[in-house]
Amino acid sequence: MSDLTTIARPYAKAAFDFSVEKGTLDQWSQMLTFAAEVAKNEDVSNLLGGSIAAEQLSEIFIAICGEQFDEFGQNLIKVMAENGRLKALPEVCVEFLALKQEYEKKIDVEVISAVKLSKEQRTEISSKLEQRLERNVQLNCSVDETLLGGVIIRAGDLVIDNSARGRLNRLSDALQS
C-alpha cells in the first residue's frame, strides 16, 4: 500500500492545488470519491490490471463515470491512464481528502467509551480537543462495552487512553519501574 501512497501523493497534491486555485474543493472531492469507488469495482479493477491501451482505458473509465467529471477531472484520468496509475485512484482520493481536511482545519476524532456519552460530554470533549488541536473537530462516537470505564480518543496520530484499563496499565508500569 505504501507504494500506491507514494504514487498517489503527487496526483492528489496537483488536484488539490488546482481545486484550491479554482475554488472547486467540494466538486473535486466528489469526483475523486466517485472515481475511487469506480476503481475499486472488481470488473473495473480487472480492466485496470489488463493490457488495454492507455487511451482506450481512459475512454472506458470516463464513459463509466459519465457526467460525474468535468473536463479537468477527465484530464486527470487521461494523465493517470497514460502513466499506468489508475489503480492508485483510491489512494489519490484518500490523500486528497487528507489535504482538504488540513486546509479546512478539520479533523475526524474517534471517541470510544464504555457507555453512551451525553450531549454535554460530547460538547466538552469536542471543545477541549478544538483548543488542543486548533482544528474544527468532528466526533465519531462509539460504545465498547469491554471498556470498564472512561474513554479512548483517537485523532490522527494522537491517542488519548483515559480508559480504566489504560490508567491501570500506566499505574502498573509506574509501580514496576
Dump pLDDT digits (tens) for 119-157: 999 999 999 999 988 888 889 999 988 888 889 999 878
The pair phi, psi for residue 32, each rounded to 5°, is -70, -35
The mean predicted confidence, pLDDT, of the chain is 86
pLDDT at 2 over 90: no
Give the least confident one: 2-6, 89-93, 130-134, 159-163.
2-6
Domain borders along the chain are 2-102, 105-176
DSSP string, 76-109: HHHHHHHTT-GGGHHHHHHHHHHHHHHHTTEEEE
Bridge partners (DSSP) of residue 138 are 108
pTM of the model: 0.70
Q: In sequence order, what are the residues at sequence separation of 6 or more whose Cβ sits closer than 8 angstroms to the Cβ of residue 23?
A: none
pLDDT of residue 44: 76
The pair phi, psi for residue 111, each rounded to 5°, is -120, 120
Residue 142, all three cell numbers: 462509539
What CATH fold (topology level) applies to the domain 2-102?
Peroxidase; domain 1 (1.10.520)
The CATH number of the domain covering residues in 105-176: 3.30.1330.20
